Every structure is written in structure tokens, then in C-alpha cells.
Amino acid sequence: MSVSSRPALLKLDFLIIGGGIAGLACAYELSRCGHRVRVLEKSSGLGQRAGGIRVPPNLTKILLEWGLQDELENLANRVLASTFYSMETGEAIGYLEWKEAVIQETGADYLLMAYDDLHRLLYRLATSTGTKVTYDACVTKVSVDHSAQTSCAFLANGEVITADIIIGADGYKSIVRDAVSKRNNNGKPSGMSVLTATIPVETMKADPELYALATTPEWPVWMGDSCSVLGYQLVSIQVSSADFFIDDKLRPGNVEEGWDIVESMHSSDMSLCEPRIRRMLSLIPDALRTKYVERDPMEEWADESGRLVLIGEAAHPLLPCSMHGPSLAVEDAVVFGTLFSHLRSHRHIPVLIEAYQDLRLPRCKTVSEGELNNGRLVWLPPGEARDQRDAYMKASRASGSDHWDEGQLRKQWEEVAGVFGYCARDAAEDWWVNWGALRERSESINPLEFKYDMATDMVIAPSKTVE
């Protein structure tokens, strides 16, 4: 299912800083409705080392709308369940299964895929509609030229690029965010690091337990004291991927924030972990590591001029390797692009940007808080809270879900509907129908053209088409 694009009547020049998932998704949404888009990315190109990502139904729906069904069938695998293990003993504590009827109600499947596969798909989409992507482009500063009503990006090589609007899709260390807000958003270290690694499935065949984990259609979660492990199947490249959330006390030395640090996995003290985790680590020579820094979400996603705008983690930083990092970024792109497909006049730019923030900020705040709460749940130290969690999960697992009645299905739907059932395009179009078009129409009508009908005792607006 592919959704047709609506050409904007007024077409702008957009410059997007950052060529990751947020930047390329936004570029595609804007260029497909006729805007001129250029993306500047500081890395050297596609194919950067990465692991796996979770693609929840709210993101899968968008990818299907963009005509990527065949690609997803080849590159992603569908999952409906997750087993929760003790990181210390390996005991299966809980089992989460999304029932088929509930997933169907969300409108799409829950998938696992390689980050690089999704990145390449978005690059292909964006460039197919005219987006120009420039790599090795290091932006050092952005500013607004108020007299010319344009924005400017200054590159390390001395080049200056102007655009009607600059979009900061440059992540949690955003250059654009620093220009939007003077508030210090360096955040505070959480005391944890995240490592992501991949293991060829072929190398796991000699270990039946590990091979079963790598080939079972679910994503396992190990829960420990200030640490956890998430597993992924990446069918397109025949590897198993794992994200390790580890207390910094278990690893020597300091680590910076960013995904360009490669470390040996053998320097971690994982001696207290269950045997499968230790055997898994023995198969991983090294991994990408980043520091987990806690940051507050931005309160303003654009500067006063409306010429500098934030999207993705530049606006709402999330836990590294979170479920909804990619999905929220792509939702941002869809809402922003849908709103700007209705652009007819420069005077409407601030209105559309305000609508974008009003639609996205509460959504991102709610989902981000839920993501962090889920993280805290699996990092509990030994004690009463962990005992209560384990008892609840064991009871739920023992009760099973093979014979759920309508009431149980409805309860699960109510738990996931707000997150998985969300449709970004519908949210933007609903705003346009209820507010945007009405406001535009009211601006186009001359009050002197209203007429009074004595027969109906009503004031009648002129009948005219807004152009």
C-alpha cells in the first residue's frame, strides 16, 4: 500500500543537517511533495557499522505506506513474543506475547531488522524524489539571516549554504539545537554504557542453546542488576545482534558519547552472568560502545523565526538502542512533511511549525517516558521491587495466553493502542482538516462579502474556492 503525495503549492528550499534515519525520512516526505531538499551528513557514507533495530507497528505502517512491503518481507523478520530471563541464573521469568488479533488491530506487524538495511531503504527513497545528499559535510554553525528571511549553514571547509528552513536531524549532539535554544542540554551521565554487537549465526551452530536463541522468532531479554541484554535476529545478513546495557563499574576506563568507539567485549566483567551470556561474549571480538547520558526533551523545537527546526533525537533524546528511537523520528518526519504539503503562503510557515510541535511533543514525551520506565524495570537490583516484578511476570507466564477471551484481548489492545496504533499521517491530516484549512479559509474571506439572509435569519459566507 503506497500513499500518494500531494504537491505543495508553495515549494521551499530545505537543508537537513544529519543523514540518519530522521534526516532521510524527513527528506523523503518533503521532496515527494515538491520541496527542494538537500541533506548534509558528516560521515563518509552509507554502510556504517551498526546492529539491529526493533520496528514496532507504528513504524511498520509508515514503511508500508511508502511502498516497501517487498523489501520488508526480504529484510525483516516478524516477531510476536519476547522471553525475559534472569541475567544471573538464566531462568525464564516472563513471557510477553502480542496476540495476532491485537497486532492486526494496530495495522501492521512488529519487525526486527538491521539498522543499515533501513538506512539504505530511506536513502533510496529520498534520492528517488530528488533529494541531494552530501557526505563528509561537517557543519560547524547555523544561523538565521532575518533581513533575507533565510537560514545559513557554515561548513568546516568554509562553504556557506542557505535555505528557507534548516532542519536539525543531527541527534543528541545537535548543532542546530544549540542555535534553537541557549539552554544547556549536555545532560548527566547515567552511570551506564550501551554496547551493540553482531554474531554470525553460522558461528553459533556448534552451540545448540545459542543457535536456538538465534533462530527462534522472538527477541529475548535478560534482566540484571543495572544491566540487561536484548537479542535480535537479522535475517538479511544472517547474524544475531545484541545490545548490552552495562553498569560502567563493570568496564574499565572512561567512554565518550557517540557510536564511533570500538571496544573489546572481553574487557567486561561478566563473570556473574548466566552461562549462555558468557558463551555469547566469547564469540564477540568487539562491539560499538556509547555512554548513556540522560537528557531532558526540548521544550521548543524551533527558533522564534521558524527558520530552524528540530526533528528526531535532536528534539527528544532517547535511551540508546531504544525501541522507539527510529519510530518517533520517522513519525516526526511524516507529520512535518504532511503539514508542509499544505503550504500555500510564507505567512503559514510559523503556523505549520507550531502545529508540528504541538502534535509531536506530547506524543514523544509519553513514549519516551514509557521507554525509560521499561528500562528501569529490567535493571532492578536485588530486593523487594525485583521480587515483586519477578512474581508478577512468573504468574502471567504460568497463566498462558492460548485461550484468551475477548476481555483479555481488549485489555492488551488498550495497553498498546496508544503507542502501536498511532498513525502519524492521520494526526497531521486531522489537524489540517480541523484547524489548518479552517484558518486558511478564514484568512481568504473578505468580511464585506458576508450576506444576511432574511428568510433564515443567518449570516452566509461567500461560496468560493480557496487557492
pLDDT digits (tens, 9 = 90+) for 394-425: 888 877 655 555 666 566 666 677 889 999 99
8 Å CB contact between 27 and 131 = yes
8 Å CB contact between 179 and 303 = yes
- For CA atoms 37, 40, 45, 46, the dihedral sign is negative
Which residue has better confidence, 90 or 50? 90
pLDDT digits (tens, 9 = 90+) for 296-314: 888 899 999 999 999 999 9
Give yes or no for residue 176 having a pLDDT over 80.
Answer: yes
CA–centroid distance for 42 within its chain: 20
Q: Which long-range contacts (CB under 8 A, 24 or more apart) does 359-363 make?
A: 359/335, 359/427, 359/428, 359/431, 360/301, 360/315, 360/331, 360/332, 360/335, 361/297, 361/301, 361/316, 363/328, 363/331, 363/422, 363/427
Q: What is the residue-averaged pLDDT of the chain?
A: 86
pLDDT band for 54, please (50, 70, 90 cuts).
very high
8 Å CB contact between 459 and 451 = yes
The residue among 56, 74, 62, 52 whose CA lies nearest residue 24 is 62
pLDDT digits (tens, 9 = 90+) for 59-109: 999 999 999 999 999 999 998 888 999 999 999 999 888 888 888 888 899
pLDDT of residue 411: 63
In this structure, the dihedral spanned by the alpha carbons of residues 37, 40, 43 and 44, taken in order and rounded to 10 degrees, is 70
The residue among 79, 136, 71 whose CA lies nearest residue 111 is 79
pLDDT digits (tens, 9 = 90+) for 417-463: 788 999 999 999 999 999 877 666 666 544 444 444 544 444 444 44
CB atoms within 10 A of CB 160: 10
Q: Which three cell numbers stand for residue 7?
A: 504537491
pLDDT of residue 346: 93
Distance separating the N- and C-terminal Cα atoms of the chain: 30
Q: What are phi and psi of 408, to 5 degrees?
A: -70, -40
8 Å CB contact between 348 and 341 = no
pLDDT of residue 465: 42
pLDDT of residue 123: 98
- CB-based contacts of 92, cutoff 8 Å, min separation 6: 83, 84, 85, 397
Q: What is the mean pLDDT of residues 316-344?
A: 94
* Domain boundary assignment for the chain: 13-187+295-435
Give yes or no for residue 145 having a pLDDT over 70.
Answer: yes
pLDDT digits (tens, 9 = 90+) for 177-236: 999 987 776 778 788 888 898 888 889 999 999 999 888 888 899 999 988 999 988 877
8 Å CB contact between 318 and 370 = no
The residue among 319, 407, 408, 399 whose CA lies nearest residue 364 is 319
Strands 286-294 and 261-264, bridge-based pairing: antiparallel
Percent of the chain residues topping a pLDDT of 70: 87
Which residue has better confidence, 407 or 1? 407
CB atoms within 10 A of CB 310: 28
Distance of CA 308 to CAs 111, 290, 428, Å? 34, 28, 20
pLDDT of residue 452: 43
Q: Which three cell numbers stand for residue 357?
A: 510541535
Strand partners, 37: 14
pLDDT of residue 270: 75
CA atoms within 13 A on the CB side of 183: 13
Which residue has better confidence, 35 or 219? 35
CA atoms within 13 A on the CB side of 155: 18
pLDDT of residue 259: 76
pLDDT of residue 292: 85
pTM for the predicted model, two decimal places: 0.89
The burial class, CB within 10 Å (0-12 / 13-18 / 19+), for 457 is exposed
Which residue has better confidence, 431 or 251? 431
8 Å CB contact between 263 and 287 = yes
Percent of the chain residues topping a pLDDT of 90: 53
Strand partners, 142: 153
Q: What's the CA gap between 338 and 430, in Å, rounded?
A: 11
Which residue has better confidence, 386 or 254? 386
pLDDT of residue 451: 47
Give yes or no for residue 328 having a pLDDT over 90.
Answer: yes
pLDDT of residue 316: 94
CATH no. of 13-187+295-435: 3.50.50.60
Per-residue burial over 127-151, b = 16 or more CB atoms within 10 Å of its CB, e = otherwise: bebbbebeeebebeebbbeeeeebb
